[in-house]
Structure 1
């Protein structure tokens, strides 16, 4: 027992014997007191070491490669290798999480001393495994001017995922300073070329991991950033002086070592300034591993080799010999030893020959055991397979990835402050995807903001096809060019195809292009086309604006489009110098301008799983009960769209000659009475702002023909709050029938003519002047006896006349030029058949009484149909997304994307209760919550909230109360196939779904 204590004392003295420049902060696994270690770690490590034979202590220093995607029989051979040689660890490469967890459990069950499991997971487990989280490459993170707290969170989250998978060491981060654009192996894996930024970001990453019990290994010591050779295939030469190395390459290593880094990985490099021995890789160099790293820099943590199968080491030293020389050089752990028996034999021989002392080897073994205890292997438990994949993909990491992307987006050119795009009504926009075979996520997102026509160009296209596309693009004044480079490595020319640069060059030469390059930042230098006999040279700098997202992912595509349209800003800076035009630190700051942002619920403090479950449940009940065949639900909070989902079908059956069409997010619905607050009401608010309409004026003030009517002195405020004694509605079409059921003269004909031009259906046309009869019927209609709240359509039928009379502009033109086009609400329109195919328009009712046909792409309301499909009370069609833009403008007090459409004062006036003392819940045009809950609004709706419902199954709601700040749209065709189906109201689906959003906000994450 005394001799055992003496051995441990000796080993400890070896373990902690360092030169004058000792590591300022000990690695966590060696600290005397640590929340994951301390005395417990030491006791376990000491006791295990005492049980190991000298040969078994050597084995603890060896990690072999493991794969979870190999053919049958591979696992048995790996198990045999590990068990027979009693190895210390496995470094996993390609595979999947469930397969790897099963293999890990099997290996651990057969190991006397639990295995240290490692992976290269620089950008998350997805670097090696499918079905796991992929974080951005380090170069992308290097573009963030600050936000190191995000990198810490990445490290913390990754550590939790790794530990859940049964992994203990992450061979990351790379702290190489990439100051060689042609570096084939580091490149995008580096944080950049600024040594201070590299150090700061790497430290945040390391601390995030180690604070959550994951060992790290900073790499590739002493610096792999300035080389044009890939050490996987050859031995790179670093021809720098010691002074240069100290100044640059060694800087981040020195800083992170002093901060307590737990591991350092040695690269396979030839560095004459540090070791003059010809062709000796740094991995095998005592001068570099022991003299420089351990003695001079005082590193006391685990020293890992880079993979021992790489040509950078095996080109001059065969497997086995290389492993022995690595241990002789001072290595603690050999990664990816290929010939384990040979390595063990040669290391034993080196001990016997005195080239390696047993005492030194035991000290290294003790350090490995302490690391194992620190990660919890002293209390080993197998990986639980239940819910493993879901646990490895937390929704918080979706948000983190979005935040990373948003923080790193870099604008490198912005001619005349073109970005973010404004004045959408002046732009004819085409998006052109380069080297993509389908419509891209970038293009789809761009289409959420306004009308964007999509094109694509690829190197595979014939020149004649390219020419046709280029000719078509002449009709547009702005081109959004998204360049898709599907490989980020320099060895593949960054994924550039034969004609990529030429295609981009032709587009930027138009002077109309905003170019977004989804790929390696160094590819910018390749997107230039020299002059030839046919054309002058073209350069990427000719673009009007340039956006660099650094890589190709759904996150970068979607958020780049959002940046261009001003939903988010940009603050990214180039982490490297590309050429003389694009240099380290370049980046133009862009501010967001308040357009809708498309994100996930977690960004606004909502649990997406809770919200989705609630909404799905409510909508699915409606679908099962056949309250409606399908619907679209869209929700936003704080101007951020957090829920968009289409449910069900256009119809219940194949009655339209084909299988029912699945509802799409951009389908157009008949808004029914939501038309009132999307057309008439905003038009009146705008006229109030311009001093052209007075809500306290009389009806006859704006309708001269009403001066002698019973409505002459009715005040508009009473009209807009539905207490003006107006009748609820008039069945105009019924007055066109004779007693025998035939049409009266000057009403309807079965064929179109000059006298009967107004299309009601394909076989029903209205007399050209019949609208005059409708207006006269309203004028001459009797008033209700009592002044009380009675919801009425009649006044809203009149507003298009009023607007045209005041402005001189037809009602629809006024709406589109004043609101819809500037808002980017391109689908909001009357009579959508003029612009859209029927399969994009959702059918409404089969009208068995009046029109005797399915109402599809034409207004459902009979009165609006007789007005040519255009009225102030019904007739508007559009998508949920475009309708939300109007109501988001209301929520933002009349402003949207930096443009004031309606004054905040007028918005406040129209959306407040007007006559609460009379029990009237209405605003001016707007519906508001009942004073006692009736289901007309969400139960939690505040007094400041407002919106409207529509007969066809539509509903929209805004609550500007700071506690909620929400905007909500529900579009359905509950009247299909008949209006007699009112289950949507009895189930209260629309307001219950809105209430789910309120509850999700209250509940939080």
Structure 2
């Protein structure tokens, strides 16, 4: 019988070993018998061993004085670690080094960094809250986040992060976990929690999962009282304990025990789990097999401190199986209580020694046996690496959850049919959400404060009566259930369905708030972002217009309407995404440094008073900066939304899109004589010149005619038969502020073009003459007014609502960048009136110049070209026609031009930068144009790279040619290519 028992024991042992091998042990345990651990432990007194089991709190809001109590506790009690609370990163690092220098045994430096160092420290990275991460369907970024948080902690001199939260939040009214949980589905919570933890541990930081055995179904805040869990064993195993079992099997290094009472495990008392032998020693350690560090939640929380004295709670916590006690007031009392318990036999010294050995093994794994102080050098840069910003942004993006989308309203299409009001509810400020919406089309802004009255709401609704789409942003909410998540009845009333108007609601907060914003479900579309910051506001706006995909799913049950795993897929439609350079393959540091350097040189040398630079790649705008001022008096800084005179960029943004579209419709043929479309050329020397030749600047047309000079007398005064200083029936073609032209004089301009001499040979010679004629040709071919045609066919569908002729009619001078002080012809500073003299004599509406707009709207037009006529899910022109117009037409004649478009030098990539045009690395497929006023744009389909440069280099005079002499535009363009990874 004895032999049989031995055999059964051996079988059991083998099974146990195989199970144990399947479970990953925490890595630090391999150092349990390390020489440094043994040596350090052998030199410790009992009091020193006990001291290693305590972690006391520290703040880094101010420098560490020499008489700080923590220094005394380190020297007298030999504490094991510090937990840092609120403060500053630089201050914390300095204090850490001071404390480590004062400690005989290196300290464990710990933090609560549930969503990164920013959970506690100002000016440090802060990732999305866990409920947002719970909505993400592709989890690899959660591991990346964990690794980055681990790296950031390590850089700060931190060794242990009391994160992630492994609680399954099944109670919408949970006041303490709630948004801190990955959600309500145990399997997903377990999976995501481990990815986060593994990332940190791979970075060399101990992860501590909390709050064992599960704090997700509680109604009491354990900081204020003792929550109670009343579920039976089966439910606990399936839900609350499930993530912890998974984490233990995967190799989590630490587990934090909770101050809550679980009736099933301790039915005869109100013992907190953190002090329960049944839950910690029997369940966590013996049953689940956890061998890592067990740490209590903060011992100053009322969930434990209201029932027991400091000494009692400490002894019970150690008896129950905890290895570390966190945030321990009354430290002396606690240590004395432990020593007394050992003397009484309530605690064994062997148990204390074993716990201390685990702490030392952890310190060995953390390489504290060869402790090196953290360096303060470049701390800010190290904590704010561009890759960290990208990860944070992508996490927020992938968490966005679309809960409603009636009739596929989103992404918004047919922008030309929409009149949009963006209402920010709960705030009085203009929001990032509204400003990003306005990047896509013209949007009017309204606000409704949190404390608005019914009269305020009625007044707002009256103003909204003329709009056919209302986009509501719900702002300034709370993440926690306290105060109904910051919602009010007026906020709910504000988003009530308005008859005859479609509505989109973007909720910048916790989805549980939908229990109080019941009217949100009445809208046509509902988008949840989980929290509010600049990134989530901007991403929500981008999602609404189709710039990004939306794929998040609710990680919790909100109510009977919005259920777990609910979330609609929304596919992007090709509109611009706004993001950080790294997402498009740039080094943001290199890109900004090089652009700043070149631009600042231009401003310093007075090549221009101010400028803008926009860079987009792969349909993503990754850089858009404004520099300098409107003028050299430095009174008005340049802003990204400012309006510029595009000058010759008009050629490729005014008549050219119309001609490409008409070509695709077979209404405009390139090899047909131009005189077919402009009969005035018939029976002249220009009769047989083709449209292709003219558009490729190989039609022998002379470059330019100074039309205004023909309207001047010899004394320099303008002819009164042509110009007047006030409008009349005959003189109503406005040229500038106080100058009006005879309506019929345009015919003289046409005649001058017709009668101009041809150049002697067919070779490349840039000419703008034909572009004066295209507006009338386009009107004849379409049967529509030229401007109205452009607006209806291109600008409005693109959402390019700032693009216009005669900007003075639509925009205040305060946002229009001035060009030249014209002392010869118009006798004024030109601001809102086209600079080009010829275009001004066409009433500001011409094909060679005259368009105004901002950089973002020019980018839409250029991106449409780069996508061969498609933008925002709409094919606005024939793709084959775009390809034809953007290719070199006469390369054998050494003519680099496309049809209307400029192209790189034919052998450009073999040239040095000073001789190249534009950038050396611009591909042969690329195209663009430059403008006399100091504008430039270039698109490279091969690299999917777009560059826009706006300046007013001719202020105050066109004699300023430093922009060219300093080679500013090619240098900027090349710097962009150089900044690619």
TM-score range, shorter chain: over 0.9
Contact 2:314 2:334 in 1 (8 A): yes
The answer as to 2:533 corresponding to 1:565 is no
Distance 1:520 1:202, change over 3 A: same
Q: What is the DSSP-based 3-state SS (H/G/I as helix, E as strand, rest coil) of the residue aligned with 1:67?
A: strand
Distance 1:513 1:342, change over 3 A: same
Alignment of 1:428-507 (within 5 A): 428-497=419-488, 499-505=490-496
Aligned to 1:28, which of 22, 26, 29? 26
Q: CA deviation at 1:73?
A: 5.4
Contact 1:19 1:295 in 2 (8 A): no
C-alpha separation between the residues in 1 aligned to 2:315 and 2:352?
12
Q: What is the DSSP-based 3-state SS (H/G/I as helix, E as strand, rest coil) of the residue aligned with 1:94?
A: strand
Aligned to 2:565, which of 558, 562, 585? 585
Residue-by-residue CA offset, 1:131-157 (whole Å, 9 max, x unaligned): 110001110000012x22111111111
My pick for the range that moved more, 46-55 or 703-712, is 703-712
Contact 1:64 1:337 in 2 (8 A): yes
Contact 1:670 1:952 in 2 (8 A): yes
TM-score where L is the length of structure 1: 0.94
The answer as to 2:390 corresponding to 1:407 is no
Aligned to 1:709: 684
Aligned to 1:42, which of 34, 48, 66? 34
Aligned to 1:878: 853
Contact 2:454 2:490 in 1 (8 A): no
Aligned to 1:53: 45
Contact 1:61 1:368 in 2 (8 A): yes
Aligned to 2:953, which of 974, 977, 1001? 974
Contact 2:29 2:358 in 1 (8 A): no
Aligned to 2:941, which of 941, 957, 960? 960
Q: CA deviation at 1:784?
A: 1.6
C-alpha separation between the residues in 1 aligned to 2:43 and 2:528?
57
Aligned to 1:240: 231
Aligned to 1:996, which of 952, 975, 978? 975
Contact 1:26 1:300 in 2 (8 A): no
Q: What is the DSSP-based 3-state SS (H/G/I as helix, E as strand, rest coil) of the residue aligned with 2:773?
A: helix
The answer as to 2:887 corresponding to 1:920 is no
Alignment of 1:146-225 (within 5 A): 147-225=138-216
Q: Aligned residue pairs: how many?
A: 961
My pick for the range that moved more, 459-468 or 844-853, is 459-468
Contact 2:727 2:740 in 1 (8 A): yes
The answer as to 2:125 corresponding to 1:142 is no
Distance 1:696 1:660, change over 3 A: same
Contact 2:118 2:126 in 1 (8 A): yes
C-alpha separation between the residues in 2 aligned to 1:455 and 1:416?
26
Distance 1:393 1:880, change over 3 A: same
Residue-by-residue CA offset, 1:570-627 (whole Å, 9 max, x unaligned): 1100000000000001000000010011111100111000011111111111101101
Q: What is the DSSP-based 3-state SS (H/G/I as helix, E as strand, rest coil) of the residue aligned with 1:320?
A: helix
Q: CA deviation at 1:469?
A: 2.1
Aligned to 2:722: 747
C-alpha separation between the residues in 1 aligned to 2:491 and 2:736?
50
Contact 2:573 2:873 in 1 (8 A): yes
The answer as to 2:917 corresponding to 1:936 is yes
C-alpha separation between the residues in 2 aligned to 1:489 and 1:728?
68
Alignment of 1:289-688 (within 5 A): 289-497=280-488, 499-505=490-496, 511-528=501-518, 539-653=519-633, 660-688=635-663
C-alpha separation between the residues in 1 aligned to 2:483 and 2:586?
42
Contact 1:894 1:904 in 2 (8 A): yes
Aligned to 2:117: 125
C-alpha separation between the residues in 1 aligned to 2:317 and 2:607?
73
Q: CA deviation at 1:104?
A: 1.0
Q: CA deviation at 1:55?
A: 1.3
Q: What is the DSSP-based 3-state SS (H/G/I as helix, E as strand, rest coil) of the residue aligned with 1:492?
A: helix
C-alpha separation between the residues in 1 aligned to 2:193 and 2:821?
65
Alignment of 1:762-801 (within 5 A): 762-801=737-776
C-alpha separation between the residues in 1 aligned to 2:649 and 2:707?
21
Q: CA deviation at 1:466?
A: 3.0
C-alpha separation between the residues in 2 aligned to 1:71 and 1:711?
83
Contact 1:235 1:268 in 2 (8 A): yes
Distance 1:302 1:20, change over 3 A: farther
Q: What is the DSSP-based 3-state SS (H/G/I as helix, E as strand, rest coil) of the residue aligned with 1:173?
A: coil
My pick for the range that moved more, 633-642 or 460-469, is 460-469
CA RMSD after TM alignment: 1.6
C-alpha separation between the residues in 2 aligned to 1:922 and 1:176?
65
My pick for the range that moved more, 779-788 or 154-163, is 779-788
Residue-by-residue CA offset, 1:318-368 (whole Å, 9 max, x unaligned): 222211111111110000111111101111111111111111111111011
Aligned to 1:10: none
Residue-by-residue CA offset, 1:289-334 (whole Å, 9 max, x unaligned): 1111111111111100000000000111122221111111111000
Runs ≥4 residues deviating over 6 A:
17-21
Q: CA deviation at 1:969?
A: 0.8
The answer as to 2:249 corresponding to 1:258 is yes
Q: CA deviation at 1:397?
A: 1.1
Q: What is the DSSP-based 3-state SS (H/G/I as helix, E as strand, rest coil) of the residue aligned with 2:413?
A: coil
Aligned to 2:272, which of 281, 290, 308? 281
Contact 2:29 2:362 in 1 (8 A): no
Contact 1:937 1:991 in 2 (8 A): yes
Contact 1:723 1:789 in 2 (8 A): yes
Aligned to 1:6: none
Contact 2:63 2:95 in 1 (8 A): no
C-alpha separation between the residues in 1 aligned to 2:278 and 2:166?
21
Aligned to 1:116: 108
Residue-by-residue CA offset, 1:483-525 (whole Å, 9 max, x unaligned): 01332111132122462222223x6666421000001110011
Residue-by-residue CA offset, 1:900-943 (whole Å, 9 max, x unaligned): 11222111111111101011110000100112444431111111
Distance 1:43 1:935, change over 3 A: same
C-alpha separation between the residues in 2 aligned to 1:872 and 1:945?
22
Distance 1:743 1:88, change over 3 A: closer
Contact 1:21 1:298 in 2 (8 A): no
Aligned to 2:11: none
Q: CA deviation at 1:80?
A: 1.3
Q: CA deviation at 1:478?
A: 0.7
C-alpha separation between the residues in 2 aligned to 1:519 and 1:120?
22
Which runs of no fewer than 5 residues in structure 1 stay unpaired?
1-16, 33-37, 529-538, 654-658
Contact 1:511 1:542 in 2 (8 A): no
C-alpha separation between the residues in 2 aligned to 1:956 and 1:71?
52
TM-score where L is the length of structure 2: 0.96
Contact 1:83 1:110 in 2 (8 A): yes
Aligned to 2:871, which of 887, 896, 901? 896
Q: CA deviation at 1:18?
A: 9.6
C-alpha separation between the residues in 1 aligned to 2:450 and 2:333?
51
C-alpha separation between the residues in 2 aligned to 1:213 and 1:616?
37
Contact 1:411 1:570 in 2 (8 A): yes
Residue-by-residue CA offset, 1:9-43 (whole Å, 9 max, x unaligned): xxxxxxxx9999758434333454xxxxx59x712
Which runs of no fewer than 5 residues in structure 2 stay unpaired?
1-14, 909-914
Aligned to 1:4: none
Contact 1:568 1:591 in 2 (8 A): yes
Distance 1:52 1:726, change over 3 A: same
Aligned to 2:83, which of 82, 91, 102? 91
C-alpha separation between the residues in 1 aligned to 2:298 and 2:327?
5
My pick for the range that moved more, 811-820 or 64-73, is 64-73
Contact 2:452 2:490 in 1 (8 A): no
Q: CA deviation at 1:755?
A: 1.1
Distance 1:849 1:935, change over 3 A: farther
The answer as to 2:942 corresponding to 1:950 is no
Q: What is the DSSP-based 3-state SS (H/G/I as helix, E as strand, rest coil) of the residue aligned with 1:765?
A: strand
